[in-house]
Amino acid sequence: MSISVQNLTKRYGQQVAVDQLSFTAHKGEILGFLGPNGAGKSTSLRMIAGLLKPDSGRVFYGDLDIWEQPQEARRFMGYLPETNPLYLDMYVREALSFYARIHQVSRDTVEQTIEKLGLPWEAHKRIRHLSKGYRQRVGLGIAILHDPSILILDEPVSGLDPNQLADIRKLIRNMATDRTIVFSSHILSEVEQICDRLLIIHRGELKALDSLRSLQAQQDGRQIIVAELEPRISFDQIMEIDSLEHYEPVGENKIRLVARSGRDMRRDLYLWTKAHNVTLLESRVEHTSMASLFEKLTQ
């Protein structure tokens, strides 16, 4: 089941929190929601989850308009809010069983969820006594308990240690095979590793929506190659390369080469080293990092 968001807008007084947001997330896809603090991520996710009514715009789960057929739509959606609200005085198994009964899900499913999330040793504990990471797992368990086709996860990996992170990452990836997942996180490396496509939002406006590679290509503009050459040469000679615009040394034998706009420098570089009997010890195309991509789009 896909999620289709059409012209979603939310205003708080004069301030536009989300402005005409539109996108579609398909089954089997993990869509990463990125944006700086206050960009409108959580507001957007709350509207997509049906917790906040937009001033205008519509959200569809498959063919279901979530504001026209809310009861039907809610059956297909699991949501983990950023604050991860839990009944702290309840036991883990008790809390999961409560939501299972609400969705009329069997006891076996509760046990399977406990197992899946690595909670068997914590199931008999009160949620109050769990660490933040385990509470996050319980929240995730509550979101996936009824096997929803659509999963909206607002900062699901915050507070997890590296081992827990790897487990949850694996779990989310496995779940994505037959679900649509919208995933927000401020940990850029997590989004990079988990998500198939990225949606970058800033001041309520959609800034970018594409795969990481495509976004990097769009932002890179000019090709950058970092090369290590042997023997040491006068770098000025390298300006003979036609497609090279300028260079900057980055070490004794290392050089960063910036191509002219729209030119691919790789072949020229290879031919130049061959012609000058220079050995190319290492060469790699440098992409815009996730962090600088994020910075560029949200400044």
Partner 1 sequence: MKTILTIVRKDLNRFFSQLTSVMSLVIFYIILGLLLWYMPDIGILDGYYAGLDIYFSLVPILLIFLLPALNMDALSGELAAGTLDLLLIRPVSSFQIVAAKFISGLTIVFIGLLPSVVYVITVYFLANPVGNIDMGAIVGSYLGLLLMIIVFTSISLFASAAVTVPVTALMLAITLCAFWYWAFFLISRLPLFYGAWDYWIQYLGLDFHYKEMGQGLISFASIVYVLSLTYIFGQMTWWRIQNIRYQ
Among 79, 183, 272, 294, binds partner 1 (CB under 8 A): 79
Among 22, 26, 69, 75, binds partner 1 (CB under 8 A): 75
CA distances from 145 to 49, 101, 148, 162 (A): 16, 10, 8, 24
Instruction: Determine, following the binding rule CB under 8 A, whether residue 15 of this chain makes contact with partner 1.
Output: no
Query: Would you state the structure tokens that stand for residue 197, as one six-digit string?
Result: 């496509």
Segment 147-186, which members bind partner 1 (CB under 8 A)? none
Among 9, 27, 62, 99, binds partner 1 (CB under 8 A): 99
In whole angstroms, the minimum distance from the beta carbon of 89 to partner 1 comes to: 6
Question: What dihedral do alpha carbons 193, 194, 195, 196 form, nearest 10°?
Answer: 80
**Among 228, 217, 218, 204, residue whose Cα is nearest residue 298:** 204
In whole angstroms, the minimum distance from the beta carbon of 86 to partner 1 comes to: 7
Instruction: Determine, following the binding rule CB under 8 A, whether residue 56 of this chain makes contact with partner 1.
Output: no
Q: Using CA of residue 290, residue 291, residue 296, residue 297, what is the dihedral sign?
A: positive
Q: Which is nearer to partner 1, 11 or 207 (CB)?
A: 11
Instruction: Determine, following the binding rule CB under 8 A, whether residue 102 of this chain makes contact with partner 1.
Output: yes
Q: Using CA of residue 229, residue 233, residue 236, residue 239, what is the dihedral sign?
A: negative
Q: Which is nearer to partner 1, 15 or 104 (CB)?
A: 104
- Give Cα 175 to chain centroid, integer Å: 15
Instruction: Determine, following the binding rule CB under 8 A, whether residue 90 of this chain makes contact with partner 1.
Output: yes
Q: Which is nearer to partner 1, 145 or 293 (CB)?
A: 145
Among 104, 177, 234, 277, binds partner 1 (CB under 8 A): 104
Q: Using CA of residue 214, residue 216, residue 222, residue 225, what is the dihedral sign?
A: negative
In whole angstroms, the minimum distance from the beta carbon of 39 to partner 1 comes to: 20
Query: Would you state the structure tokens that stand for residue 179, as one six-digit string?
Result: 């679900």
Segment 36-55, which members bind partner 1 (CB under 8 A)? 49-53
β-bridge mates for residue 1, sequence order: none
Among 22, 26, 69, 89, binds partner 1 (CB under 8 A): 89
Instruction: Determine, following the binding rule CB under 8 A, whether residue 74 of this chain makes contact with partner 1.
Output: yes
Euclidean distance between CA atoms 296 and 299, whole angstroms: 6
Site of tokens 């970092």: 226
Euclidean distance between CA atoms 74 and 46, whole angstroms: 13
Q: Which is nearer to partner 1, 58 or 263 (CB)?
A: 58
Q: Which is nearer to partner 1, 90 or 187 (CB)?
A: 90
Part of the chain binding partner 1 (CB under 8 A), chosen from 89-97, 162-170, 178-186, 223-231: 89-97
Q: Using CA of residue 135, residue 34, residue 213, residue 219, what is the dihedral sign?
A: negative
Sheet of 64-65, strand order: 15-25, 3-12, 56-61, 64-65
Among 38, 85, 221, 249, binds partner 1 (CB under 8 A): 85
Number of residues that bind partner 1 (CB under 8 A): 26
In whole angstroms, the minimum distance from the beta carbon of 297 to partner 1 comes to: 30
Contacts with partner 1 by CB under 8 A lie at: 49-53, 71, 74-75, 77, 79, 81, 83, 85-90, 94, 98-99, 101-104, 142
